[in-house]
Amino acid sequence: MKTISTENSHGGTQGVYIHRSDACDCDMTFAVFLPPQAKARKLPVLWYLSGLTCTHANVMEKGEYRRLAAELGIIIVCPDTSPRGDAVPDEPDNWQFGKGAGFYVDATEPPFAQNYRMYSYVVDELPKLIAGEFPVDMDRQGIFGHSMGGHGAITIALRNPERFSSCSAFAPISHPSVSGWSKPAFQKYLGSDDTAWRAYDACSLIEDGHRFPEFLVDQGTADSFLEDGLRPEELRQACETAGISLRLRMQEGYGHSYFFISTFMEDHLRWHARRLGD
């Protein structure tokens, strides 16, 4: 692991780092915010997964999480959204696929299977690196994210309920197997057999018996992707059928951007903090 940059912020440190990833077969960049309490003890960790076209930098620069994370004593880790590099296959003219659009799946289809293994990267490889390099209490982990990253957070929590104490999302892609902007990506990453897609689809995972105690989801009513891309009502229905507690808050007039995310970031951090304990 190499340090790209560190900056003091709210008594803590915002760092950006790079390392060679075996899962993605390329160099990967990530950001970590260490609150001031990290100088004295291990702290809970909250993973933030970003959306389409984003890198680690979007939430780091526009998410407005550091002041409250410093107050609450929570470490925030922000991975990239996909593998990077000249050797990584891509569709440069397609913002819904390739670099910046890893969808937090382990691709099985060539040529993408060699690099696009974001599920394994986020669930296995990066946590091992973080646990070895930073003062994190790995018994207290939460996960959240936005859009494609909200999809990633919910599916990862459903598949790893013993690991995470909390999960929330901003405008998640709730049913990517049928969503207009994720279904084509699933076909290219995972093949034409849609039964293989179910492991990365929140509604399908719940239907197949996966469970997580509760979710908090915020969704803007003015989000242009609401009906086709995000489908929050289908997540609500799946959770109601399965008896999973879902607090779905439809936020009047809000869109899909970081103006929306930063507005409700404090609510999410406090919600996680209550579940991560101290």
Catalytic residue among 21, 147, 166, 168: 147
Query: What does the alpha-carbon distance between residue 50 and residue 40 come to, in Å, rounded to a whole number?
Result: 29
DSSP state of 55: -
Catalytic residue among 151, 210, 256, 272: 256
Q: Is 272 a catalytic residue?
A: no
Q: Give Rg (Cα) of the chain.
A: 17
- Please return the burial class of 54, using the count of CB atoms within 10 Å of its CB with bins 0-12, 13-18 and 19+: buried
CA atoms within 13 A on the CB side of 100: 12
Can you tell me which residue has the tokens 């293994």?
117
Measure the CA angle with vertex 265, ends 262 and 270; round to 5°: 160
Query: What does the alpha-carbon distance between residue 100 and residue 89 come to, in Å, rounded to a whole number?
Result: 12
As a whole number of Å, the end-to-end CA separation of the chain is 28
Q: Is 256 a catalytic residue?
A: yes
Catalytic residue among 80, 90, 201, 223: 223
Three-state DSSP at 56 gives coil
- Please return the burial class of 250, using the count of CB atoms within 10 Å of its CB with bins 0-12, 13-18 and 19+: middle
Q: Is 193 a catalytic residue?
A: no
Residue numbers annotated as active site:
147, 223, 256
